[in-house]
Amino acid sequence: MAPKTTRLLPCLAPALALLVATACDAPRNDAAASASASATAPAPASASAVVPASAPVAPAFGPFGELVRSLSEPGGDFISDNLISNETSYLQTADALAARPAGGVYVGVGPEQNFTYLALTRPRLAFIVDIRRDNLLQHLYYRFLFEEAESRSHFLALLVGRPYDAATAPPESADVDAVLKHAEAKAPDAKLFATTVDRAMKRMQEAYGVALGDKDKRALGRMTQGFFDKQLDLRFELKENSGRKYPSLRELLGAADPAGKKRGFLATDASFRFVQAMEREGRVVPVVGDFSGDGALPAIAAFLQKNDLRVSTFYVSNVEQYLLEPPMWSKWIRNVAALPKTDDAMLLRCYLDQGKKHPKQLEGHRTATVLAKMADFVEREQKKPSRSWFNIATEGLVD
């Protein structure tokens, strides 16, 4: 049953002025990545330039907590907790994403893979929409970590509850393997970890303006404990064990694109700093929402329309696989069609091989990540809904 429509609050209007000031849509290429990051949202050039952890949080637009609340709808359950991704192919489209114009609005779903897509697409604003309220809580925690982190290895050390030694931190030019190694240089510290989680919860309520109930606090405690207990060897898990072995967080962070280039958000200092700047300015907004619901996506569409903003990339993962039955599918198509979008707006999908291999599936992967034009998909489905996940994931692909 679809959640009830969520009422938009008056807080949405003040967001316009500061949002529009963040960046201009302009073509770019990989060689101009650092310049684009600076133009879109200036990021510190070195650890010494990082805003101190004690500095007050200053969102770049509007009341962050009210925006989170007003766009969200009641949460729901899913078949997995999704603490980390299980998509080994998430960098398959990295070149295509990085070659697109910067700016626009990014919409995504799920945990940390979104940070890589933000670094590649360099949007003005991002909404992470997930039916699980736990995902919202996890992204609020990630915002805290990005605010606190002096460097890439500090970010990881905070995530897994280890002390950080700034004096021996890898240089900005270090590769991700050196970052991973340094983050694990000191043993996990339970007291340090508990202090980090407590401080994060306090900031979520006092600075971000997001109220946490007892259930939220327990959920956040359970999720963060998972990172502390399993460290960088944490893996995606289904609630009912399928017997499959999914990639570890270490493997995902150190993954490479089809050409062998490591492109995750921690692969370069520039990528990390871009995402860090977005998080510190409150431009990554987590939202509880059902893709086929009557609340979150229609509310986001109204917000974008009001503020003359356009979706350029929508990372849907494999969520459509769970929306194929009517009336969910027709509502999903309605919601995609209603989003203000750029002319070249793309849907970014991940197909999971469950017995039928995707034609774009690469050797050694159980997943295939592909791009398709959003407008073409809507037009095709409005004419004749396919309701076949394989057809949806293989039609109209953009190389």
What is the tens place of the pLDDT at every residue in 204-257? 999 999 999 999 999 999 999 999 999 999 998 875 666 677 899 999 999 999
Domain count, the chain: 1
Question: What pLDDT shows up at residue 58?
Answer: 41
Residues with Cβ within 8 Å of residue 62, at least 6 apart in sequence: 11, 12, 14, 15, 18
Residues 6+ apart with CB under 8 A from 61: 14, 15, 18, 19, 125, 281, 282, 283
Q: Which residue type is seen at 225?
A: Q
What Å distances lie between residue 356 and 198, 288, 359, 366, CA to CA?
Answer: 45, 31, 9, 10
Look at residue 220 and tell me if it is in a domain.
Answer: yes
pLDDT at 24 over 60: no
- State the Cα–Cα distance between residues 20 and 196, nearest whole angstrom: 34
pLDDT single digits (tens) 285-329 = 999 999 999 999 999 999 999 999 999 999 999 999 999 999 999
Chain CA centroid to CA 105, Å: 12
Query: For residue 81, what are the contacts with CB-CB under 8 A and spacing of at least 6?
Result: 132, 134, 223, 237, 239
DSSP lists the bridge partners of residue 251 as none
pLDDT value for 42: 36
Whether 49 is covered by a domain: the verdict is no
Look at residue 79 in the predicted model and tell me its pLDDT. Answer: 56
Q: What percent of the chain has pLDDT over 70?
A: 82
Contact 194, 228 (CB under 8 A): no
- Read off the pLDDT of residues 45-88 as tens digits, 9 standing for 90 and up: 333 334 333 333 344 456 899 999 999 999 877 655 789 999 99
Q: Count how many Cα atoms sit within 13 Å of the Cα of residue 191 in the half-sphere of its side chain.
A: 0
pLDDT of residue 236: 84
Backbone angles phi, psi at 369, to 5 degrees: -110, 125
Give the chain's largest Cα–Cα span: 61
- Residue 371 inside a domain? The answer is yes
Read off the DSSP letter of residue 104.
Answer: S
C-alpha distances in angstroms, 375 versus 105, 347, 369? 16, 9, 19
Please state, in angstroms and rounded to a whole number, the distance separating the CA atoms of residues 331 and 292.
5
**Does residue 51 fall inside a structural domain?**
no
User: H-type helices in the chain, by residue range?
Assistant: 15-20, 33-40, 64-71, 94-98, 113-121, 133-148, 152-160, 176-183, 190-206, 214-230, 249-253, 269-280, 296-306, 328-338, 374-383, 389-394
| 329 belongs to a structural domain | yes
Phi and psi at 337, nearest 5°, equal -60, -35
Whether 178 shows a pLDDT value over 70: the answer reads yes
Q: At what angle do helices 64-71 and 296-306 cross, to 10 degrees?
A: 130
SS3 per residue for 40-57: HCCCCCCHHHCCCCCCCC
In the beta sheet, which residues pair with residue 107? 127, 314
**pLDDT attached to residue 46:** 36
Q: 219-250 burial, b if ≥16 CB within 10 A, otherwise e?
A: bbeebbebbbebbbebbbbeeeeeeeebbbbb
Question: Do the beta carbons of residue 70 and residue 6 sit within 8 Å?
Answer: yes
Is residue 119 predicted with pLDDT exceeding 50?
Answer: yes
Torsion of CA 214, 217, 219, 221, to 10 degrees: -140
pLDDT score recorded for residue 22 = 35
Range of the domain at 270: 62-398
- pLDDT score for 54: 36
pLDDT at residue 78, as a whole number: 60
Q: What is the pLDDT of residues 131-167, one digit of tens each?
A: 999 999 999 999 999 999 999 999 999 999 999 999 9
Tell me, yes or no, whether 27 lies in a domain. no
Asked if 370 and 391 touch (Cβ cutoff 8 Å), the reply is no
In a domain, 37, yes or no: no
How many C-beta atoms lie closer than 10 Å to residue 343's C-beta?
9
d(CA 378, CA 96) in angstroms, rounded, equals 21
Answer yes or no: is 19 within a domain: no
How far apart, in Å, are the Cα atoms of 168 and each of 44, 129, 148?
Answer: 19, 38, 18
Q: Bigger pLDDT: 122 or 243? A: 122
> Residue 9: pLDDT above 60?
no
50: Cα separation from own chain's centroid: 22
To which residue do tokens 């994060």 refer?
A: 200
